[in-house]
Amino acid sequence: MLTEFHYNTFPQEIIFGAGKLERLGEIVAQYHWSRALVVTTRSQRANGNLARVENALGAKLVANYDATQPHVPQKNVDDATRLAREHNADVLVALGGGSAIGVAKATSYRLQSPIPILAIPTTYAGSEVTPVFGVTRERDGMSGTKRLLRKETVNDPRVAPRVVLYDPQCTLDLPRELTAATGINAFAHCVEAAYSITRNPLSSAAAWYGARRIYHALPRCVENGTDVAARTEMLQGAYLAGVSLSNVAMGLHHGVCHVLGGTLNVPHGLANAIVLPHAIRFNADVCAEQLAQLARVLGIEAEGDEIAAQELAKRVAQWTHQMQLPSRLREVGVRETDLDLVAQLAGQSKMVQNNPKKISDGELRKFLAEIW
């Protein structure tokens, strides 16, 4: 039982429900915002969500930035920041998944006086309720001469979106592969929050019940993307996943996934699917009580906490396989020769250093070899 904890909160309005996007103009007016820059992706233009946002904003829309890329490249942040300054934007409307919301956060952070963000998530990434973002930049490699891409993480409460508008209708045409990948990302948030070294009663409760919603709803969404009830339950789970992670330290799982994405360009959701069962198994002895509690919330019964924790790892691997997600790094283009670099960079990560079970450089390299 926790006898001490620290919890910090920030002002944030959550608006949830099918069709709520049509209220966007009204919400913007309530906050007295009048110059909105929309930060999004070209896929949101293609699927019609951007047109809905443009119609709702009307004259309050001053510009669109629709070139966001995965892993938040520095160039995206530079371009969006320039647009925000040129148009004197007073709100950033982030429409999309973790990348669009990440670019909006990084843009707000870059401005001398951060401007508020209104987030409209269309995937299950969960970043819309956190003060965390990552930017991928070039950095020196191990030799000091080779230039490498590295994803650097920032945590600043000023960039947490002021308003989050969840409309399940915005997720109905999310492709099967992205549904599964971003859904497992949200589930991983819950798992790491459940055993985080800085967990607290609120983060644990959000992690348990977010994980339960995701565990049962995600396969239904993958099977039938137009199932509004499943999409609604899944989006609620993703929200709880974001809440669970917004105030706790991440660990081994996220540290490795950030390196795989930022340096090797492995899609974040696919990295999550591969790494998560192994991270659960690695932490099972030290975090047996927390993982067993999570297993029971999901309906997984076993004799004793450590056995329950190991059974959770097994079931998660089966669950991801059911949704046809990869289980090995080699399946997503990682070469065996890349593992030393991944181990080196992940070992420098604050997230890996905050893992509840300490891991040496040699153990980290072995961990990656087992996943490869």
pLDDT tens across the length of the chain (372 residues): 677 887 777 789 999 999 999 999 999 999 999 999 999 999 999 999 999 999 999 999 999 999 999 889 999 999 999 999 999 999 999 999 999 999 999 999 999 788 999 999 999 988 899 988 988 887 655 544 455 677 788 889 899 999 999 999 999 999 999 999 999 999 999 999 999 999 999 999 999 999 999 999 999 999 999 999 999 999 999 999 999 988 899 999 999 999 999 889 899 899 999 999 999 999 999 999 999 999 999 999 888 999 999 999 999 999 999 999 999 999 999 999 999 999 999 999 999 999 999 999 999 999 999 999
50, 52, 53, 57 alpha-carbon torsion, rounded to 10°: 140
| Fold match flag (13-171 vs 177-371) | no
d(CA 37, CA 44): 15
Which residues, at least 6 apart from 252, have a Cβ–Cβ distance to it below 8 Å? 279, 282, 283, 351, 352, 355, 357, 359, 367
Which residues, at least 6 apart from 106, have a Cβ–Cβ distance to it below 8 Å? 72, 76, 77, 80, 133, 135, 154, 159
Write the CATH number of the domain with boundaries 177-371: 1.20.1090.10
Q: Give the residue carrying structure tokens 């002021």.
A: 162
CA–centroid distance for 170 within its chain: 17
Question: SS3 letters for the chain?
Answer: CCCCCCCCCCCCEEEECCCHHHHHHHHHHHCCCCCEEEECCHHHHHCCHHHHHHHHHHHHEEEEECCCCCCCEHHHHHHHHHHHHHCCCCEEEEEECHHHHHHHHHHHHHCCCCCCEEEEECCCCCHHHCCEEEEEEEEECCCCCCEEEEEEEEECHHHCCCEEEECHHHHCCCCHHHHHHHHHHHHHHHHHHHHCCCCCHHHHHHHHHHHHHHHHHHHHHHHCCCCHHHHHHHHHHHHHHHHHHCCCCCCHHHHHHHHHHHHHCCCHHHHHHHHHHHHHHHHCCCCHHHHHHHHHHCCCCCCCHHHHHHHHHHHHHHHHHHCCCCCCHHHHCCCHHHHHHHHHHHHCCHHHHCCCCCCCHHHHHHHHHHHC
CA–centroid distance for 356 within its chain: 20
247, 252, 258, 260 alpha-carbon torsion, rounded to 10°: -170
- Give the pLDDT score at 306: 92
d(CA 181, CA 184): 5
- Give the pLDDT score at 143: 43
Closest residue by Cα to residue 24 from 119, 101, 105: 119
d(CA 121, CA 103): 13
Show me where the domains of the chain are located: 13-171, 177-371
Do 62 and 35 contact (CB within 8 A), yes or no? yes
Name 15's bridge partners. 165
pTM given for the model: 0.90
Classify strands 13-16 and 61-65 as parallel, antiparallel or unpaired.
unpaired
In CATH, 13-171 is 3.40.1390.10: no
Q: Give the residue carrying structure tokens 């799982």.
A: 253
- The length of the chain is 372
- Give the pLDDT score at 139: 66
